[in-house]
Structure 1
Amino acid sequence: MQATAYTYDPETRSGSVLLDDGTPVPFDAAAFDAGGLRLLRPGQRVRIEVQNPENDAEARQITLVTLQTF
């Protein structure tokens, strides 16, 4: 699934992304670390893996955040 980086805190290595429909979804340090990134800037296009993607936004949990490559 693709999204856009919205917030990122380098101290906690957590933040949030915006899905293409504008829904914000938070991610934690474990999801950031799983993607192997060192830094994330708001506005970057990212690829995410989501647990419970069919449920409502509150039940979604991002398990991986990495840069989207073409």
Structure 2
Amino acid sequence: MQATAYTYDSETRSGSVLLDDGTPLPFEAPAFDAGGLRLLRPGQRVRIEIEGGTADSGDGRRVVLVTLQTF
């Protein structure tokens, strides 16, 4: 799934992304670390993987991977 980086704290390696429908979804350090990134800037397009919930609901969803979107 694609999203846009919204916030990122380099000290905690956590932040949030915006889904294409504008829904914010937070991520924690393990999701950031799983993507192998060193830095993330707001506005960058990213690829995310989520667990839990459904595509239509934010309930129970959590980001398990954040990495840069490549073409």
Output the TM-score relative to the length of structure 1. Answer: 0.95
Q: TM-score, normalised by structure 2?
A: 0.94
How large is the Cα RMSD of the aligned pairs? 1.1
- Per the alignment, residue 16 of structure 1 pairs with 16
Residue 53 of structure 2 contacts residue 59 of structure 2 at CA under 8 Å; is this kept in 1? no
Determine the structure 2 residue equivalent to 1:64: 65
Size of the aligned set, in residue pairs, is 70
- Name the CA distance, whole Å, in 1 between partners of 2:64 and 2:53: 11
Q: Distance in 2 between matches of 1:53 and 1:34?
A: 20
Deviation per residue, 1:12-68 (Å, 9 max, x gap): 000000000000000000000000000000000000000025162131100000000
Is there any run of 5+ residues in structure 2 with no aligned partner, and where?
none
Distance 1:53 1:19 in 2: 14
Identity of aligned residues (%): 76
Match of 1:52 in 2: 52
Residue 34 of structure 1 is matched in structure 2 by: 34
Whose helix proportion is higher, 1 or 2? 1
Q: Give structure 1 regions of 4+ aligned residues with deviation exceeding 6 angstroms.
A: none
